[in-house]
A and B are shown apart, each in its own frame.
Chain A
Amino acid sequence: MSAKALLLAVRGPVMLVTLGLLMAADQLDRMSFSRTWPVLLILLGLFKLVEHLSSHDTTGDQTGGTGL
């Protein structure tokens, strides 16, 4: 089992938990979701970055495409 497989597996649940927390913060009038939604983008970007770095380390070759 590689670290990349684990990363791919936990990505969805972590995004879901974050979405839930942002929604909860909004509904309890702490912080509006219209202000905090970019956190989801940043998190997704971080996952993609770590994924890219780990695949670079293990295979040593560059893959094409946008990375998304």
Chain B
Amino acid sequence: MRRASLVAPLLLIGIGLLFLARNVFPELQLLDYLAKYWPLLLVIWGGLRLLEILVWAASSKPLPARGLSSGEWVLIVFLCFVGVSLHAVRGFSGWLPGSRIELGGLDIFGESYDYPVSAEKASGKAPRVIIETFRGNARITAGDVSSVKVTGHSTIRSLDQASADRSNTQAPLEISGDDNLIRIQTWQNRVSGNNRRISADLDIVVPRGASIEAHGRSGDFDISGVKGSVEITSDNASVRLEDIAATCRWRRAAATFCVPSKSEARWN
């Protein structure tokens, strides 16, 4: 008579215990554990089978022709597919090219989290204001002030609140520099990939004599009343200029645009 393996009943008991644990403790993150540690199931399965065969061999009992049947191999392949898919979907880094679905996954499953930002720094009457690695919308207004003041909010799209909080601390709004050169940094480039996306809506008030230089990936720039030069370098931006006294340059790809002084211009 062919000996029945102990592995199948043990696996059944294990699966039963997992479901029971899930029902008794609903807060248990069972899928997360499964997504991360499923390969250990293969190791345990193989280890038990190996142990069983060695015990049979030691007690001179008849050995099966194959250690694992064809049906078991089919089940193993199925388990691998489920494990890898679960691993990719739960947001852990995966080796399948298909697991790089961060943006699509974010659009479907992600949520937006808003964080207020504000910063101010005293400056001279005509500072050069540089906005670095910016993504989002910026409304830059000139006023009779002697400081650069930034208010607004940062929007982080993420799969969960904890991840968004982490991104927010990684990308603080900072203003540095001196009277003549003010640098506004959003550090958004620190938060790229990993199932997170960040952008900001900023209201920036600068002294009337300021000149503006902005480098960004996308978004809108709305600049008005600035007497100094305006230079915007962006991959994909919409720029609206109003009551600009000096020349401006807007570089998108290889093109450079200049606007005559005292004009209102709008490009999309």
Contacts and interface: CB of A to CB of B under 8 A. Distances in A.
B45 interface: yes
Interface stretch (A18-26, A38-46, A57-65): A18-26
B76 A26 contact: no
A5 B50 contact: no
A50 interface: no
Contacts of A33: 95
Interface in B72-123: 72-73, 76, 80, 83, 87, 92-93, 95
A19 B42 contact: yes
Contact of A13 (B37, B38, B47): B47
B36 A27 contact: yes
B78 to A, nearest CB: 13
Nearest to B93: A29
B39 interface: yes
Given A12-B49, A17-B47, A23-B83, A1 B41 contact: no
A11 B85 CA distance: 27
A8 interface: yes
Contact of A10 (B38, B43, B54): B54
Interface residues of B, number: 34
Q: A-side binding surface: helix, strand, loop or mixed?
A: helix
Q: B-side binding surface: helix, strand, loop or mixed?
A: helix
A49 interface: no
A13 B50 contact: yes
Interface stretch (B59-67, B129-137, B194-202, B255-263): B59-67
A6 B53 contact: yes
Contact of A17 (B46, B60, B63, B93): B46
Which of B57, B72, B92 lies at the interface centre, i.e. has the most chain A CB atoms within 10 A of its CB?
A: B57
A48 to B, nearest CB: 14
Contacts of B54: 10
A15 B68 CA distance: 10
A41 B57 CA distance: 26
Contacts of B57: 1, 6, 9
Given A20-B43, A21-B39, A32-B95, A10 B76 contact: no
Interface of A: 1, 5-6, 8-24, 26-27, 29, 32-34
